[in-house]
Amino acid sequence: MANVSIIGSGPAGCVLAYALLRDGHDVTLYSDRTPEDWLERSKPTGSAYLWACSIDIERELGMDHWSQDMMGGHGVHMDRSTHIGDPNPGVIRGLVEYGRRGCGIDQRLRVHRWLGDLESRGGKLVIESVTPERADAIAASSDLTVLAAGKAELGRIIPRDEARCEFDAPQRNVVMAVVRSKSGRHVSEWFADRWDLIPQKFNFYADAGEYFWGPYMHKTAGDTFAVLLEAKPGGPFDRFADVRSGEETIEIFRELARECAPWERHFIDDVEYVSEDPHGWLAGRVTPGVRRPFAKLPSGGLIMPIGDTAITFDPICGQGGNFANRGARFLAEQVTERGDRPFDEAWITGVFDRIWAFYGRSQCAFNNTFLKPLEPSAELVMRTALRSEEAANEFYYGLPHPESILPALRDMGAARAFAERHGVSLEMA
């Protein structure tokens, strides 16, 4: 069995650790935070919305302690506007994975539990802020060293693979905050006049950006929504550069939502920030990108990326957390299959290329499609989904399974076939 060191204790690092421990490997996980630091003194780093198939991975590994109690979302309700003030936004409403529930489960809650349980599973937890020099020493004494440091500075020791990167700058300015009902209503009631199921609620504005309401399980407040806003730089949504608190973020968001979605004013005043959590919000910007399969460290050791360190996604289509779980599980399977053979450059490159081929390429292409003005083929898919709920179900199935819808989004012939399959004429679309 292999001696594997994992630097980074976010979900990708934890899923990898648990999968390797299940297979009998020796695992040391390096975390720059204690379990209590994760729970009490960390930001959630995003809405962390997981599709049902990603929660399945955690359940298979004995890591899912929350989904039985989550509110969850059954599908997506999108209001799609050509511009702010559009009097007739298109509505695309459909199920995700045909109604299987996903949810944003507070990452801090998950990691706190996973780190606390790690040693009882046979792993070793080291609390240490690993420097590049220390990473070199760790790699020299390990069979395989994996960097799962998210978007942290340490990730820069592995260079970007520019051939696989579509952008070299952030495409959105992003804010996120966790909200609940001021009046004490259950938050699922906010959208009950539009749909009898609990949705992820999407609001798209071609001239400004997007904002999303994701069903969320907060570490103390329970059933809540994570509001994520993606502002096109310099556009009408780009109002959050100077925010300094979650309360301030939501105050500005309420003003924006009243202006941009007047049909939702009936509940916007009921939205409040989860004030007992000073860390339950964030603001920033992300440059989407893909790193190379490994870096060679000064001592000659190799270090391989996984999760956000391997591929950094803009959060627009919720791909990051789901890629983390899939990629980590796949890597663990490959480590076990390798047996006693060395984890050399050729092996690491081959595994990384398979992760890219099986998951990364399609998830990046899907995500990036919606960061740019839509191609005619993607526009046809969206117009078809406006007119057919079955088409919307198929489109939203592509959120957790982008390879299923990507051909239609990128190729006009496949988009026409998609429309015809759902009985939507090109003239109607």
Q: 250-288 pLDDT, tens per residue?
A: 999 999 999 999 999 999 999 999 999 999 999 999 999
pLDDT 10s digits, 367-399: 999 999 999 999 999 999 999 999 999 999 999
Between CA 404 and CA 153 the distance in angstroms is 34
Task: Supply the pLDDT for residue 350.
Answer: 99
Structural contact between residues 422 and 384, judged by C-beta atoms closer than 8 angstroms: yes
Cα of first residue to Cα of last residue in the chain, in angstroms, is 56
Please list the ranges in the chain whose pLDDT falls under 50.
Answer: none
CATH number for the segment(s) 67-104+171-285: 3.30.9.40
DSSP H or E stretch at residue 271: strand 271-273
How many other CB atoms are there within 10 angstroms of residue 370's CB atom?
Answer: 18
How confident is the model over 4-20, as pLDDT tens digits? Answer: 999 999 999 999 999 99
Q: In the CATH scheme, what is the code of domain 3-48+107-166+288-369?
A: 3.50.50.60
| Domain ranges within the chain, ordered by starting residue | 3-48+107-166+288-369, 67-104+171-285, 376-421
Cα pseudo-dihedral 367, 294, 144, 39, rounded to 10:
-40
Domains 3-48+107-166+288-369 and 67-104+171-285 share a fold: no
| CA 134 to each of CA 140, 147, 167, 284, 414: distance values in angstroms, whole numbers, following the listed order | 10, 12, 31, 28, 50
pLDDT of residue 48: 87
* Cβ atoms within 10 Å of 129's Cβ, excluding its own: 11
**How many CA atoms within 13 Å lie on the side-chain side of 88?**
1
